[in-house]
Amino acid sequence: MNTAEYLVGDGESGSVAVVDSDGVHSYADLRAQASRCRAALEELGLRAGDRVGLIGANCFGWVAAYLGVLAAGMVAVPIAHTLRPDEIVSRIRWLGVQAAFLGPMESRRLAGQVPGGLPMAAEGPSPAGPPLRFVDRPADLDAALVFTSGTTGRPHVVRLTHANLQANTGSILSYLPLADSDRVLVVLPFSYVFGASLLHTHLRVGAALVVQPNAAFPQQMVERMAAERCTGLAGVPSTFSVLLRNSTFGSRRLPDLRIIQQAGGRLAPTMVEELRGAQPQAQVFVMYGQTEATARLSYLPPQELDRRPGSIGRGIPGVDLRVVGEDGSQVAAGQIGEIVAGGDNISPGYLDDPEETARRMPGGVLRTGDLATVDEDGYIYVVDRREDFIKSWGVRISSQDIEAVALQLTDLVSVAAVGVPDEAAGERVELVAVPREGSRLTEGQIIDHCRARLARTMVPQAVHLVPLMPLNGNGKISKTAVRELCVDLARADQSPGGSS
């Protein structure tokens, strides 16, 4: 089945599909606009299998264009609109994109640089026109080409098939209690697989997506959730850190909110407890996933949060999720190994990169690069990403353990621990932290707090208080950018006129 048909082929035409800055849009409006988008592509001479870019902020037009691309049997190429214009153009050329739907701002920024530029906008609420038709596509053909987050380096392009998208959507809905009456606040970009999973699951059940431009102003998110009576909220750790510590989310009652989804990196146990206490009526689903897995790989049932703090749970239905040692055998409880995954949601590989595909997805099994332990019941606990471990004085240190201790200080909104090159130690531990508005917390107090709770080798040698944490386009902390920031600050201190 074509994935667009799987998502919106049925359902009540009059029910709300998308709420954005332009207003309320029904499923009938959505199918009608998707049909117009498909017709626009065909008028350009594009055919099934051709690649079409989607470059713009979340909105009704983005959703309609995406469905129109899939309905036509073409391959969707979502590109983060927050990238520099030259990077967007580079990605378009890299993937051989033959046409692109552009948001209003992107149309101006990329004027004359994008082939077959089409507006990412609704032509009006009228559903008049031909019904949305779906080109039947074999399940193993590509539906979307998605860039990885690139938190540690240059991104890869992940191939996601129609089978991948439908399998992962079905798996998520088998444990997440969504209904057609739900309204989720969406702050994650649809170009990010977590944001896309919200799109897929809510469209599949006939629910509504309430689009919030971004998470830069957390109090606006709280006001929007209240005004729209949102029943769902999803975010990455940075989303919840600003909500919990720079807004009224923890003190204002949001009685309609019933499901909170957290993924996109480890949320420190302290923050999970704050999140649960902020809106106790809501179920909190801690989840884990990767782009190469379409979105989700595991979840921790809300009723297990007290018993298994820090766990990402076990594999979702349809996913074989294990922690294995160097020999490929499953590790015993308490031992550290790598998380590997298999299932119908695993990508067939990276675009035009057979070597990296063979390394990361040998035989269709995904090697996640995340190191973890398991408990006696098979619940998984991520220790750190392999490349985020800090190697100082011959000791391997989990950056997440340092971050969890630092976040016990409620005056800190966000933190990132990294290893910075050091001639003597190999790498020295440094911490970048964003304080709460009005905080008087000092770097020395943070170091003292860590020294009282961490082994000597784990205590940051330097703490840098900054107003904003370096994030990528998906709202996740970029450890690469954090390391570069630490190196730049060290150079500034050592230069003539510096602080040292």
Average pLDDT over residues 364-371: 94
Domain 3-380 is found in CATH 3.40.50.12780: yes
pLDDT at res. 500: 40
pLDDT at res. 494: 63
pLDDT per residue over 117-126, tens digit each? Answer: 999 975 655 6
pLDDT at res. 354: 96
Q: In sequence order, what are the beta bridge partners of 426?
A: 422
Per-residue pLDDT at 324 exceeds 80: yes
Contact 291, 158 (CB under 8 A): yes
Q: How far is CA 404 from CA 75, 311, 417, in A?
A: 40, 13, 10
Distance CA 55, CA 52 (A): 10
pLDDT at res. 155: 80
Distance CA 205, CA 16 (A): 12
pLDDT per residue over 301-321, tens digit each? Answer: 999 999 999 999 999 999 999
pLDDT at res. 489: 86
Q: Using pLDDT thresholds of 50, 70 and 90, give the confidence band for residue 388.
A: confident
pLDDT at res. 496: 60
The tokens describing 185, both together, are: 């606040």
Architecture of the domain delimited by 389-494: 2-Layer Sandwich (3.30)
Average pLDDT over residues 432-461: 94
Maximum pairwise Cα distance, the chain: 71
pLDDT per residue over 53-68, tens digit each? Answer: 999 999 999 999 999 9
Residue pointed to by tokens 């059940």: 205
Contact 293, 345 (CB under 8 A): yes
Distance from the first to the final alpha carbon of the chain:
64
Residue pointed to by tokens 């923050």: 271
Average pLDDT over residues 376-382: 95
Per-residue pLDDT at 263 exceeds 90: yes
Average pLDDT of the chain is 92
Ordered by start, the domain boundaries in the chain are 3-380, 389-494
pLDDT at res. 213: 86
pLDDT at res. 458: 94
pLDDT at res. 129: 72
Q: Give ∠ CA 437-439-441 in degrees, rounded to 5.
A: 145
Per-residue pLDDT at 16 exceeds 90: yes
Per-residue pLDDT at 151 exceeds 50: no
Distance CA 383, CA 489 (A): 28
Report the predicted TM-score, pTM, of the whole model to 2 decimal places. Answer: 0.89
pLDDT at res. 493: 67
Per-residue pLDDT at 128 exceeds 70: no
What percentage of the chain has pLDDT greater than the value 70? 96
Per-residue pLDDT at 154 exceeds 90: no
pLDDT at res. 152: 43
Q: Using pLDDT thresholds of 50, 70 and 90, give the confidence band for residue 423.
A: confident
Per-residue pLDDT at 189 exceeds 60: yes
pLDDT at res. 191: 95
Distance CA 494, CA 498 (A): 6
The residue with greater pLDDT, 152 or 182, is 182
